[in-house]
Structure 1
Amino acid sequence: MRNATLRQLKVFEAVARHLSFSRAAEELHLTQPAVSAQVRALEGHAGAPLFEQLGKKVHLTAAGEQLVLSTRAILGSVQEAEEALAAFRGVRGGPLRVSVISAGDYFFPRLLVEFAARHAGIRLDFHVCNREELLDRLEHNATDLAVMARPPESGDMVAEPFAPHPYVVIASPRHPLAGKRRIPMDRVLGEPFIVRERGSDTWNSMQDAFGERLEQVHVSMEIKSTETIKQAVMAGMGLGFLSAHTVSRELRSGEIVVLDVRGLPLPLHWYVVHRRGKRLAPVAAAFREFLLQEGAQQVARALEPPRKRAATAASR
């Protein structure tokens, strides 16, 4: 193993974490053949196969299970060394590893750009994940900070709210309920809904909004893509339940409307989350402080119409 490279270990750890060559390739921004080549090279150094495929599923071999423990220890030590060196450099350098739940990709890149513009030398390592992937990245120290709407209840995590995150019922402007005031929940429950998959953040938020009446919701379609749900709602196929931030553009253009349903919107928040024992590098600590101090304002600005955003910037 003396000739194994850090790159090979990083690729191996990603495949071991996902148990998928394609998902590891997506995370690392590599092609799947490139990932396979790195794993084969590492297996050559190890002198044993590290993965085996049974049916359509990838599994770690006994050698792979042993190596992944050592690999994570090595990568953890490298990360600690980078953080220690970053402390000497201060906020002016080093990597910022941030992961965000999929609903956040409608505004979060603007916050990263704003922060990076204030601090030279920052290298952004930014990932958009579903909830399961995001929690996995936190668990395996693959990200410094995570941004989500529903933080884990584990005492091993620190979760701090920084901006409002409302969830709403949406419809086509041609829907019979569009423009109605104080719509009773009973009336909404009789309509077909196009919803996110069970277990997603959006589905869990829908559980909070409808409570015991969730079973009465007429689910006509269950779709993993927020964009597809929006298109289905615009086409008049039913109602949707989504983060208001994911439909801001369509609300401005008039392609979608928010229904005035009694008891809604559901008032949630965006949280910045990190491991309780995590020693944040100066750049990560500065970004956390940026979110806590300016996050709400920055999210609101990022979701403003372009003309209003330009006018706001000109007045500053």
Structure 2
Amino acid sequence: MTIQQMMYYEAVARHQSITRAAAELHIAQPTLSLAMQTLESETGLNLFRHVGRNIELTADGQALFAEVAHMLKDVARFDSHVAELARRHQNLRVAVPMLVGTLILPLLLGTFRAEHPEIRLEISETTGVEALDLIEREEADVAVVHDSAHRHGLTARRLPDWPFCLCVRRDHPLAARTRVSFAEAMAEPLVLLDDGYLVTRLIEDRCAREHLAPRILHYTPHLSTIWNLVTRGLACGIVTSGGTLPESALVAIPIDGLMQHPAIFTKTGRQVTQDQRTLITFLKRTFPAAPIAKMAQSN
């Protein structure tokens, strides 16, 4: 039996009337009568008995009705599940570490949302390591992460590089500089994001290679803590260029040779949905090249 035959039979059996069933199904009575005759012929069962102008189900008809009703419930559940999967693909789960978020979130919550209101974004602000873990566990659809070593099972699509910067107050002795060396940055008292963030691992690895002892006062999971401590003159921070607001009391000075290499990550071997492709294309189109010269002039 086809699903259409099941639907026709269920309506006739429930109403025990060709007329009422045809009206519900919005088809002609002769069409439905012929369909029932064909069904009896194909199954070899006598499904109905006629009582005057009405019909009744035979014992075989009752048994088939119970099976058909059960099957149609399963079909309805299947259709509902497929619809839910389709809705999920219009509800993209995006994982973004905080430093990359200073560049990405204004694009996602501003331009992307305006251009694609039909795509709902569930954004998780995580560490870089956690963002990649979410992709591996298929708990996120897309992650935008910087400076990640290659992970088996993940596909990366590169975005333009951006420099990491020393974040200082505008009255700091280095504030007028257009750039600082890595050693100069490490000589300042620092507040860093904790070691779940890839930038901190990058800094620690480089310090070990260059035999530098950074003056780290505090590790924090919060970018706001960095801004707060730097604003109070207690430490300097490491942020991405663009990681401070122009109207704030802070400036971001590029650190020579300390670059982040952002990329869009998805799970290898999993179908990239149309909504994911839309987001990836948008980010590759709108993610800016680092305005180092412009930023240096403003500082």
Is this contact kept in 1: 2:96–2:145, CA < 8 A? yes
The AA in structure 2 aligned to 1:193 is: L
Is this contact kept in 1: 2:148–2:198, CA < 8 A? no
Partner of 1:228: 225
2:159 and 2:84 map into 1 onto residues whose CA distance is 25
Partner of 2:199: 202
Partner of 1:68: none
1:15-38, CA deviations, whole angstroms, 9 ceiling, x for partnerless residues?
xxxxxxxxxxxxxxxxxxxxxxxx
Partner of 2:214: 217
Alignment equivalent of 1:273, drawn from 261, 265, 276? 265
Change (3 A) 1:241 1:126: closer
Instruction: State the Cα distance separating 1:274 from its structure 2 match.
Output: 0.3
Instruction: Indicate whether 1:255 and 2:249 are aligned.
Output: yes
Is this contact kept in 1: 2:95–2:126, CA < 8 A? yes
Give 5+ residue unaligned stretches, structure 2: 1-77
Is this contact kept in 2: 1:147–1:270, CA < 8 A? yes
Question: As a proportion of its length, which structure holds more helix?
Answer: 1
Runs of 4+ in 1 over 6 A off after TM superposition: none
Greater CA deviation, 183-192 or 113-122?
A: 183-192
The AA in structure 2 aligned to 1:258 is: A
The AA in structure 2 aligned to 1:241 is: I
Instruction: State the Cα distance separating 1:175 from its structure 2 match.
Output: 2.2
Change (3 A) 1:235 1:155: same
Change (3 A) 1:208 1:275: same
SS in 2 for 1:155: coil
Instruction: State the Cα distance separating 1:234 from its structure 2 match.
Output: 1.6
Is this contact kept in 2: 1:174–1:236, CA < 8 A? no
Structure index of larger Rg? 2
Change (3 A) 1:258 1:289: closer
Change (3 A) 1:258 1:122: closer
Change (3 A) 1:242 1:294: closer
Alignment equivalent of 2:153, drawn from 151, 156, 171? 156
Alignment equivalent of 1:104, drawn from 100, 104, 107? 100
1:182 and 1:130 map into 2 onto residues whose CA distance is 27
Is this contact kept in 1: 2:186–2:213, CA < 8 A? yes
Partner of 1:32: none
1:97-128, CA deviations, whole angstroms, 9 ceiling, x for partnerless residues?
22211223334333224233333532222222
2:117 and 2:186 map into 1 onto residues whose CA distance is 52
1:283-298 to 2 correspondences below 5 Å: 283-296=275-288
1:214 and 1:244 map into 2 onto residues whose CA distance is 26
1:115 and 1:196 map into 2 onto residues whose CA distance is 28
Change (3 A) 1:257 1:109: closer
Partner of 1:238: 235
Is this contact kept in 1: 2:189–2:235, CA < 8 A? yes
Give 5+ residue unaligned stretches, structure 1: 1-76, 87-92, 305-316
2:221 and 2:202 map into 1 onto residues whose CA distance is 15
Is this contact kept in 1: 2:239–2:252, CA < 8 A? no
1:257 and 1:162 map into 2 onto residues whose CA distance is 24
1:191 and 1:149 map into 2 onto residues whose CA distance is 24
1:181 and 1:102 map into 2 onto residues whose CA distance is 24
2:226 and 2:150 map into 1 onto residues whose CA distance is 29
